[in-house]
Amino acid sequence: MIVEKIRGGNENGDSFPVGMRVLAVDDDPICLKLLETLLRKCQYHGMFFSLIGIQDSSDFNWDAQCTSFPLFHEFLVLDFVDPIVQPSKLLVLGAFERFWFSFTFPFRFIDCLVQARMALKMLRENKDRFDLVISDVHMPDMDGFKLLELVGLEMDLPVIMLSANGDPKLVMKGVTHGACDYLVKPVRIEELRNIWQHVIRRTKCDSKNQNKSADQVKANPAIVEGQGSPVAGNADQNGKINRKRKDEEDESEDGNESEDPSTQKKPRVVWSIELHRKFVGAVNQLGIEKAVPKKILDLMNVEGLTRENVASHLQALIFPSLKYRLYLKRISSVATQQANMAAALGVKDSPFMRIGPFEGLGDFRTLAGPGRLTNAALSHYSTGGMLGRLNTPANVNLRNLTPSPFIQPSHAQNPNNSITTLGKIHPSLQPANQNPSLFQGIPSSLELDQLQQNNCATGIANFNGVDDSRLLGNQSNVLNGTPSNTMVLNGKYQQTLNSGGFGNQSFNVGVDGSPNLLNPSAIESSRMQPNSLLSNEPFQLPMNSARDNNFSSVPYLQNNPIDISSSTMALPLEDSREMQYQEGLVGDVSQTPSQRWGEQGMNYCHGSKIAYGSLNSHLPANEIMNEKMGVVVNGILGGGGSNLMQQKENEILGTQLRGRAEDNFLLEQQPKLQGGFVPRSFDSLDDMMNAMIKREHDETLPNCDFGFDGYSFGAGI
């Protein structure tokens, strides 16, 4: 279960616990229901995922059964198809209804699946959606510890483990994997009343860390779990480590001893470029299979370097957000990149395959790959002594990055931004934060670190800020306002949107996409924008599927901030799968745009089935549109009634797209991607190239982050 907390209220300790958002994942519906009630008593807001069968969305099948997953990306609503009267299902429904007023979705449960995965995806999509996660240890679809590590690494959310088994060994395991706390069933309300402390603690540490310059190399007294030499100057990492330490210290109530056995402080080793070059050379020499720290150490032949240092560095390579990010900052030369790539290749295959950042150095293609892999890598690595919960927003970002090559760099906060750097459609939009050297995707990771919150939404907001805020200005607000699942999707979508050049605008769409979460007010705000931009025209499109037209047009049209957002969502939808994604997004987006356009008909916020239903129906439309527009389907959105004047838009887009025929082509080619492949307008050949590369990656990468094992590393290069 993941607990979400309203970020805004963090600083205010008094009111904070109230309204803290918790996401709970458990396969036991009884416990889930109990938790729901208990959390409600504590005045937390929760979203509860019981393990009910929902088809794995990894194949993105938009058949009747597999509706939930893509919607997940929309983050707002799980796709409910039919109300299924079963206690567990009712439970979830109830939880939704209670906490998400706009929800009323009938659920269709299919067997087995991945609730934990869904929860994870949801988390990924909107990092700012939840404050805390409560997760069961034993779950059918995913090991609770694995989820714990992933959440900790990617989202840096406090995770509380829950189990009927109070075995100290398990408790220890939980702690070592980074859990903030370990509760034993039955859960009592007194225990839950105190869980907010973990959120506050983490937030405080985060803010402290964020204040420090990431480049600043500080003597890091923090204790890295099992690592003797943390990445130098990685404030985030330090922050995390510090936090971890504090969390560990605070876990006395459970009787858990301090989890970090290597509390010893070791002198930090700064991995200079030279050192890293040697490291890479050694790794290359040894080959992937044989690149063990000991041998690497021997080959490097550096005085004062210990095996632990090397191991840590090797491990850090797996998490791009750590050392790699830092490294990237220091190195911007292509040669280095090549070395990195080689190193990445040379390093142990499975974890390394995932190391995207190396590839990505300056190469968007590579980014695409690693981005995705990171998650996989992380999970892969979780068992190892990985650095506790290293927040690797980069990982997450990378994911986001891949979809949108054009993402506007807008904000550091906006992980997506990093991606946008690639696209750089609107240089003006590029935020100052962006680190040009990092470029493709890397910057996003950097930015992410700083942000600590990979809120796509925030990114979106940022985008707006960066952007001329023409349209998106409001949108960003809207986005921020909409806690919805913009999550990862947002990031992705944003990027795609940016590609449209609007960057700002589209992002919002992603965010807004989650119709469920969209607050009416948020929608309103978004509405504002479009008006300004659009000449109030024909946005009153009939409710036909909003499709891409609207959205795609947005990016192209720079007038439609709304479109962009919506389009972004729709854009990437090439395949039906994409469409699904889009649908999720579209739903959200469409909502926004529709709202903007005064389409009040659709009730996006509610994420009503109508919207979704329409989305589905739009699928085919989208495809058609894609052909026309070259934009991924927005059709899904269309369901929402965002009937943005498709026809008109299409036309407009058509003309505009002409200029971007190539882009469209690319967009079409691009498979839908798990995260949020948002179609983007490619402004330059490079972008297109990147998109194509990405497409390759996308195609190879399954939608599901977890399942990513077969990623061919070489493909990215």
Partner 1 sequence: MKRALCPVCSGSIDEQFLQLQQLQDESSPNFVSEVVNIYFHESEKLLRNLREDCLVVVDKEFSDYKKMGIHLNQFMGSSSSIGAQRVRNVCVAFRAASEQNNRAGCLRALELLEYEYCYLKNKLHELFQIEQQRILAAGVRYPQQPNNP
Output the smallest distance, CB 42 to partner 1, in A: 11
Among 177, 188, 190, 312, which residue's Cα sits nearest to residue 247?
A: 177
Dist. CA 530–CA 358, nearest whole Å = 39
From the list 86-94, 192-200, 287-295, 562-570, the region that binds partner 1 by CB under 8 A is 86-94
Query: Around Cβ 255, how many Cβ atoms within 10 Å?
Result: 10
Phi, psi for residue 694 in degrees, rounded to 5: -60, -40
Site for partner 1 in 129-148 (CB under 8 A): 136, 138, 140
Q: Which of 9, 19, 40, 212 binds partner 1 (CB under 8 A)?
A: 40
From the list 26-34, 251-259, 272-280, 694-702, the region that binds partner 1 by CB under 8 A is 26-34
Q: Which two tokens stand for residue 524?
A: 């309103």
Site for partner 1 in 157-176 (CB under 8 A): 163-165
87 binds partner 1 per the rule CB under 8 A = yes
Q: Which of 9, 15, 37, 709 binds partner 1 (CB under 8 A)?
A: 37
Among 139, 176, 135, 141, which residue's Cα sits nearest to residue 261?
A: 176
Among 715, 690, 705, which residue's Cα sits nearest to residue 344?
A: 715
Phi-psi region of 229 (alpha: psi -120 to 50; beta: other; left: phi over 0): beta
Among 61, 620, 155, which residue's Cα sits nearest to residue 395?
A: 155
Dist. CA 573–CA 71, nearest whole Å = 14
From the list 82-90, 340-348, 457-465, 511-519, the region that binds partner 1 by CB under 8 A is 82-90
- Give the residue with the Cβ less far from partner 1, 188 or 290: 188
Give the contacts of 190 (CB within 8 A, at least 6 positions apart).
Answer: none
- Give the residue with the Cβ less far from partner 1, 140 or 261: 140
CB 152 within 8 A of CB 17: no
- Give the residue with the Cβ less far from partner 1, 159 or 398: 159
From the list 88-96, 235-243, 469-477, 546-554, the region that binds partner 1 by CB under 8 A is 88-96
- Per-residue x/- track, 465-504, partner 1 (CB under 8 A): ----------------------------------------
- Give the residue with the Cβ less far from partner 1, 91 or 322: 91
- Give the residue with the Cβ less far from partner 1, 27 or 687: 27
Dist. CA 492–CA 698, nearest whole Å = 13
- Give the residue with the Cβ less far from partner 1, 133 or 394: 133
Give the contacts of 269 (CB within 8 A, at least 6 positions apart).
Answer: 228, 229, 232, 275, 304, 305, 306, 309, 313
Beta-bridge mates of residue 134: 160
- Give the residue with the Cβ less far from partner 1, 29 or 423: 29
Q: Which of 33, 424, 618, 697 binds partner 1 (CB under 8 A)?
A: 33
Dist. CA 403–CA 678, nearest whole Å = 6
Q: Which of 17, 29, 226, 676 binds partner 1 (CB under 8 A)?
A: 29
307 binds partner 1 per the rule CB under 8 A = no
Q: Which of 34, 286, 292, 342 binds partner 1 (CB under 8 A)?
A: 34
- Give the residue with the Cβ less far from partner 1, 33 or 596: 33
Site for partner 1 in 185-214 (CB under 8 A): 185-189
Output the smallest distance, CB 50 to partner 1, in A: 10
- Give the residue with the Cβ less far from partner 1, 164 or 219: 164
SS3 70: helix
Q: Which two tokens stand for residue 321?
A: 């957000």
84 binds partner 1 per the rule CB under 8 A = no
Phi, psi for residue 272 in degrees, rounded to 5: -75, 170
From the list 34-42, 114-122, 192-200, 535-543, the region that binds partner 1 by CB under 8 A is 34-42
30 binds partner 1 per the rule CB under 8 A = yes
Output the smallest distance, CB 27 to partner 1, in A: 6
Dist. CA 386–CA 447, nearest whole Å = 22
Report which residue type is found at 461.
A
From the list 183-191, 219-227, 308-316, 497-505, the region that binds partner 1 by CB under 8 A is 183-191
- Give the residue with the Cβ less far from partner 1, 110 or 345: 110
CB 566 within 8 A of CB 551: yes
Report which residue type is found at 300.
M
Dist. CA 411–CA 418, nearest whole Å = 8
Output the smallest distance, CB 350 to partner 1, in A: 24
78 binds partner 1 per the rule CB under 8 A = no
88 binds partner 1 per the rule CB under 8 A = yes
Size of the residue set binding partner 1 (CB under 8 A): 27
Q: With the C-alpha atoms ordered 72, 76, 80, 85, is the resulting torsion angle positive or negative?
A: positive
Cα 646 to Cα 235, 512, 546, 576, distances in angstroms: 47, 19, 6, 20
Output the smallest distance, CB 109 to partner 1, in A: 14
- Give the residue with the Cβ less far from partner 1, 30 or 172: 30
Phi, psi for residue 183 in degrees, rounded to 5: -105, 150
Query: Around Cβ 219, how many Cβ atoms within 10 Å?
Result: 10
Phi, psi for residue 133 in degrees, rounded to 5: -120, 135
- Give the residue with the Cβ less far from partner 1, 159 or 488: 159
Q: How many residues does the chain have?
A: 717
- Give the residue with the Cβ less far from partner 1, 87 or 659: 87
444 binds partner 1 per the rule CB under 8 A = no
Query: Around Cβ 326, how many Cβ atoms within 10 Å?
Result: 26
Name the site residues for partner 1 (rule: CB under 8 A): 27-31, 33-34, 37-38, 40-41, 86-88, 90-91, 136, 138, 140, 163-165, 185-189
